[in-house]
Amino acid sequence: MAASKADPRVTPQTRLPNPRRGGSPMSFLDRIAAALAPAASDEQRADARRQLEELSVGEPFAEDILAQHRQIEALFAEAREAAGPGAEAAVRELAVLLNGHSMAEEAVVYPDISEHSGKAHAGMAYEEHAMTKVQLAELQKMAPGTREWREKLDHIESAVQQHVYQEESSWLPDVIRHAPVEERQRISMEFREYFQRFDQG
């Protein structure tokens, strides 16, 4: 049940948008995430990306994750710019990539995020992956190009952008800085193998 206006926990960032004024409703998890980690600006995301690119040299798991993040961003852009079957195909490809990417991270990387960056961070990451999969499944049932479809796509993209920012600005750097080199080598090998098995399957 939505909190009342008098509820001090509800801030301008967490209050549900009024459907009459436009905008997609935020989920309960969206509101929690917004309260804990306000959305990063384009400049902040770009800065985090640059820093992780420098830090990830010689860290294959981080390089692979960065490459997949770029692919995900490109597919969002492709889906937005395409029409009809092209948009549907881009969303299908996006869903497949995000599924394989998230499963590889959850199986191989997130246990180390839990250890070296915090259990709360890992827990949030798992939840965000789950919500993204649900939202993408809903998007695939909608007619591409409609206002509702575009709002849903924008909503998912914004959530993914924030998730990527959290990974690139904090969670992955923590693993690189604090996990022993042997552990990072294991992560790199297993992440690539896990993703390739999923991708080929």
Which tens digits make up the pLDDT trace of 86-143?
A: 999 999 999 999 999 999 999 999 999 999 888 888 888 888 999 999 999 999 999 9
For residue 103, which of 76, 130, 139, 67 has the smallest C-alpha distance? Answer: 130
The residue ranges of every structural domain in the chain are 57-200
Say whether pLDDT at 8 is over 50. no
CA-based R_g, the chain, Å: 18
Q: How far apart are CA 128 and CA 52, in angstroms?
A: 21
Mean pLDDT of the chain: 84
CA angle 55, 59, 62 (to 5 degrees): 75
Which tens digits make up the pLDDT trace of 43-76?
A: 999 999 999 999 999 999 999 999 999 999 999 9
> What is the CATH number assigned to the segment(s) 57-200?
1.20.120.520
For residue 145, which of 62, 80, 68 has the smallest C-alpha distance? Answer: 80
Q: Which two tokens stand for residue 22?
A: 């436009």
Q: How far apart are CA 73 and CA 91, in angstroms?
A: 12
Which tens digits make up the pLDDT trace of 146-189?
A: 999 999 999 999 999 999 999 999 999 999 999 999 999 999 99
The pLDDT confidence band at residue 1, using thresholds 50, 70 and 90, is very low
CA 44 to chain centre: 16
Say whether pLDDT at 82 is over 60. yes
Say whether pLDDT at 26 is over 90. no
The pLDDT confidence band at residue 4, using thresholds 50, 70 and 90, is very low
**Helix (H, G, I), strand (E, B), or coil: what is residue 197?**
helix
pLDDT at 22: 40
Say whether pLDDT at 194 is over 70. yes
Q: How far apart are CA 86 and CA 80, in angstroms?
A: 10
Residues 162, 154 contacting (CB under 8 angstroms): no
Higher-pLDDT residue of 68, 18: 68
pLDDT at 78: 96
